Amino acid sequence: MGRGRATQRPDPPENNGASQRGPGEGETVKKFLMLHYGYEEPTPEIMAAWEGWFAKVGDHFADMGSPLGNGLEVTTTAKRDLSPDAGAPTGYSIISAESREDAERLLEGCPIISSVQLYEAMQMQ
């Protein structure tokens, strides 16, 4: 996800649990964190690709996300600034899906610049 994202849509209501009941009987919908890596200067084509992907994923977004800037790493003994260099994540999104395979399918058409890492948010018991 580039730093110059095309659209700012209102986020759906936030759900603090890692999963929620799905539309079917007893289905559990899981949440997945997508960490986007890589940056290219936004072009009209890149922006159109992001808009198309946002529209495709639609209601599966728990949080459409945003670009990421400087970070901070904190340990028990120190802290250090993290700059948005070539190896740092450049954005995030959180989606809802029934399985990792369904989450992977939602990545189809995503204008991946370098890569996307996909993590399941595990439900707290």
pTM score? 0.74
Residue 49: domain span: 28-121
64 in a structural domain: yes
Work out the percent of the chain whose per-residue pLDDT is above 90: 62
86 in a structural domain: yes
Q: Closest by alpha carbon to 108, among 30, 67, 52, 44?
A: 52
Assign residue 33 the CATH number of its domain. 3.30.70.1060
Report the 10 Å Cβ neighbour count for 35. Answer: 18
Query: Can you spell out the DSSP letters for 16-43?
Result: -SSEEE-SSTT-EEEEEEEEEE------
Structurally, how many domains does the chain consist of? 1
10 in a structural domain: no
Q: Closest by alpha carbon to 85, among 68, 66, 97?
A: 68
The band of 20, judged by pLDDT with boundaries at 50, 70 and 90, is: very low
Q: Is the CB of residue 11 less than 8 Å from the CB of residue 63?
A: yes
59 in a structural domain: yes
73 in a structural domain: yes
71 in a structural domain: yes
13 in a structural domain: no
Q: 79-93 pLDDT, tens per residue?
A: 999 887 778 999 999
Q: Closest by alpha carbon to 11, among 69, 70, 54?
A: 54
84 in a structural domain: yes
